């Protein structure tokens, strides 16, 4: 088939297009703000200031971003295998079980730097096992992971309610949460990191999980593009027929990929539980699993893109909270609308502007070729 449009150069594909999407999202969001009688410009200033204007702002932004990096990576790894794992929410939630058990038990007598690796393993393991069941059903029975993983979100939520109002709730407490972990179950903050750039963080919950998230992003990059397993995952994702031809076992790859995906989601639980609250609370994931889908889409399933997209969404969360606080007409729900618009344009409608952009580049390319041809023709004369 003839290709009517020129291929976009990489910088336009990965830079310009997301930027256009983002600008449109903010324009529409600005209209919404205008509609409720507030100034969109003031709101924008408030948001950026709230997210990056102070040590605590930055701390919160990166704290939220940490969650989104993990869940974004979870979605991206599955994407590379052609699987759409939308169960990050549930895998992260149930992963909290692994973190809490380590935190509650080992936190009593081990220092944090020993508890931390064990909690990483526990959360990853629990998340991976939670993803294993849908993976097995997909590989063996052809049950679509989109359906099964979203159902497993509900199952995870129900289990965690049971656990938090019964099994793990300290006697006499009214709140559906565990007791506060002992010191060994609490991760140190990253105030020193912000001090390096001259910011001081007082109450923000940014902690070493952020560094773990960056390491995870790097490891995912290594896995996908530098290992044999990643090669097999990508082959399966691009062409199951080619994978079959190459002797790659579909069963094995689907299960391994989903377990890695689930493990990444599970590790997200470290950040709020051991890093911020030092206990497990009801609904601590708070939608981060779903935001991960938008983050992965926006980051084009590339770890570097995911880290950037996660920081953007962290900004929306933190800056949005500031707006809700300072602008009486804008409630918490309005912020959710604005975030939703960003997800809509950057995620769901990410290809909306692609054809027009391709046309523009095609015309530009043709014009350039014509000029070049004219120059050559002119030179020959």
Partner 1 sequence: MAEPAIELVGIDKRFGAVHANRDIYMRVEKGTIHGIIGENGAGKSTLMSILYGFYQADSGEIRINGQATRIADPNAAIALGIGMVHQHFMLVEKFTVLENVMLGVEGAPLLKNGISKARAELKRLEREYQLDVDPDALIEELPVGLQQRVEILKALYRGAEILVLDEPTGVLTPPEADHLFRILEQLKSQGKTIVLITHKLREIMAVTDNVSVMRQGAVVATRKTEETTVEELAELMVGRRVLLRVQKGEAKPGDIKLSVENLTVRDSRGVVMVDDASFTVRAGEIVGIAGVAGNGQSQLIETIAGIRAAVSGRVLLDGQIIDITGAADPGELRDRGLAHVPEDRHHMGLVLAFEEYENSILGYHDDPLYLNGPFLDLEAIKADARKKIEKYDIRPGDPRLKTANFSGGNQQKIVLAREMERDPGVLIIGQPTRGVDVGAIEFIHKRIIEMRDAGKAVLLVSVELDEIRSLSDRILVMFAGRIVGERDSDADEGELGLLMAGVEHKEAAE
Taking contact as CB under 8 A, which single stretch among the options 12-20, 237-245, 356-364, 371-379 is the one that binds partner 1? 237-245
Q: How far apart are CA 136 and CA 144, in angstroms?
A: 10
Q: How far apart are CA 18 and CA 24, in angstroms?
A: 10
Closest distance to partner 1 from the beta carbon of 23 (Å): 29
Closest distance to partner 1 from the beta carbon of 240 (Å): 9
Closest distance to partner 1 from the beta carbon of 82 (Å): 12
Which of 186, 207, 235, 318 is close enough to bind partner 1 by CB under 8 A?
Answer: 235
**Does the protein bind partner 1 through residue 2 (CB under 8 A)?**
yes
Q: Please report, as residue ranges, which positions from 160 to 199 form the binding site for partner 1 (by CB under 8 A).
A: none
Alpha carbon separation from 132 to 140, 159, 225, 297 (Å, rounded): 12, 17, 23, 23
Taking contact as CB under 8 A, which single stretch among the options 1-9, 62-70, 251-259, 364-372 is the one that binds partner 1? 1-9
**Does the protein bind partner 1 through residue 141 (CB under 8 A)?**
no
Among 130, 139, 146, 145, CA closest to 90 = 130
Q: How far apart are CA 140 and CA 135, in angstroms?
A: 8
Q: How far apart are CA 366 and CA 211, in angstroms?
A: 46
Q: How far apart are CA 138 and CA 26, in angstroms?
A: 38
Give the side-chain half-sphere CA count within 13 A for 64.
26
Handedness of CA 34, 38, 39, 45 (dihedral sign): negative
Q: How far apart are CA 116 and CA 270, in angstroms?
A: 9
Which of 109, 162, 238, 325 is close enough to bind partner 1 by CB under 8 A?
Answer: 238
**Does the protein bind partner 1 through residue 229 (CB under 8 A)?**
yes
Closest distance to partner 1 from the beta carbon of 142 (Å): 13
Closest distance to partner 1 from the beta carbon of 135 (Å): 20
**Does the protein bind partner 1 through residue 3 (CB under 8 A)?**
yes
Q: How far apart are CA 291 and CA 362, in angstroms?
A: 34
Which of 140, 226, 359, 370 is close enough to bind partner 1 by CB under 8 A?
Answer: 226
Closest distance to partner 1 from the beta carbon of 232 (Å): 7
Which of 108, 173, 200, 227 is close enough to bind partner 1 by CB under 8 A?
Answer: 227
Which of 34, 246, 349, 364 is close enough to bind partner 1 by CB under 8 A?
Answer: 246
Q: Judged by CB, which is closer to partner 1: 143, or 249?
A: 249
Kindly write down the DSSP assignment for every residue of 347-358, as one continuous string.
IITTTTTHHHHH
Closest distance to partner 1 from the beta carbon of 83 (Å): 16
Q: What are the b/e assignments for 330-348, b being 16+ CB within 10 Å?
A: beeebbebbbebbbbbbbe
In the numeric block, which tokens belong to residue 349? Answer: 């409608």
Q: Which residues pair with 177 in a beta bridge?
A: 281
Q: Judged by CB, which is closer to partner 1: 54, or 235?
A: 235
Whether 191 contacts 201, CB under 8 Å: yes
User: What does R_g of the chain's alpha carbons equal in angstroms?
Assistant: 23
Whether 234 contacts 217, CB under 8 Å: no
Closest distance to partner 1 from the beta carbon of 247 (Å): 3
**Does the protein bind partner 1 through residue 228 (CB under 8 A)?**
yes
Taking contact as CB under 8 A, which single stretch among the options 43-51, 247-255, 312-320, 343-351 is the one that binds partner 1? 247-255
Closest distance to partner 1 from the beta carbon of 162 (Å): 39
Burial class (CB in 10 A: 0-12, 13-18, 19+), 52: middle
Which of 242, 348, 372, 373 is close enough to bind partner 1 by CB under 8 A?
Answer: 242
**Does the protein bind partner 1 through residue 234 (CB under 8 A)?**
yes
Taking contact as CB under 8 A, which single stretch among the options 18-26, 220-228, 311-319, 362-370 is the one that binds partner 1? 220-228
Q: Which residues bind partner 1 (CB under 8 A)?
A: 1-3, 222, 226-232, 234-235, 238-239, 241-242, 244-249
């Amino acid at each position: 088939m003839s290709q009517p449009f020129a291929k976009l150069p990489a910088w336009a594909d990965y830079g310009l297009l997301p930027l256009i999407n983002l600008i449109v999202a903010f324009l529409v969001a600005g209209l919404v703000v205008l509609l409720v009688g507030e100034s969109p410009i003031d709101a924008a200033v408030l948001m950026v200031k709230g997210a990056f204007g102070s040590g605590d702002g930055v701390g919160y932004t990166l704290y939220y971003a940490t969650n989104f990096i993990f869940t974004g990576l979870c979605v991206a790894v599955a994407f590379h295998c052609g699987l759409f794992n939308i169960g990050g929410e549930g895998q992260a939630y149930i992963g909290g079980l692994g973190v809490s058990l380590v935190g509650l038990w080992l936190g009593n007598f081990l220092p944090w730097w020993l508890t931390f690796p064990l909690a990483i393993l526990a959360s990853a393991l629990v998340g991976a096992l939670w993803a294993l069941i849908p993976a097995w059903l997909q590989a063996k029975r052809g049950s679509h992971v989109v359906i099964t993983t979203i159902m497993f979100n509900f199952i995870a939520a129900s289990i965690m309610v049971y656990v938090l109002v019964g099994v793990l709730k300290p006697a006499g407490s009214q709140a559906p949460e565990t007791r506060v972990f002992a010191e060994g179950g609490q991760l140190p903050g990253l105030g020193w990191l912000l001090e390096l750039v001259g910011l001081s963080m007082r109450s923000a919950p940014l902690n070493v999980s952020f560094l773990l998230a960056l390491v995870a992003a790097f490891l995912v990059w290594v896995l996908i593009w530098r290992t044999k397993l990643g090669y097999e995952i990508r082959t399966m994702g691009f062409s199951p027929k080619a994978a079959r031809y190459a002797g790659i076992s579909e069963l094995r790859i689907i299960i391994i990929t989903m377990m890695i995906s689930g493990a990444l989601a599970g590790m997200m639980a470290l950040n709020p539980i051991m890093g911020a609250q030092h206990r497990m609370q009801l609904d601590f994931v708070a939608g981060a699993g779903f935001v991960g889908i938008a983050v992965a889409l926006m980051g084009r399933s590339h770890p570097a893109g995911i880290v950037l997209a996660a920081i953007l969404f962290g900004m929306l969360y933190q800056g949005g909270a500031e707006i809700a606080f300072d602008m009486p007409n804008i409630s918490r729900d309005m912020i959710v609308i604005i975030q939703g618009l960003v997800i809509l344009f950057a995620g769901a409608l990410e290809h909306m502007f692609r054809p027009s952009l391709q046309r523009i580049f095609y015309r530009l390319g043709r014009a350039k070729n014509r000029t070049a041809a004219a120059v050559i023709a002119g030179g020959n004369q």
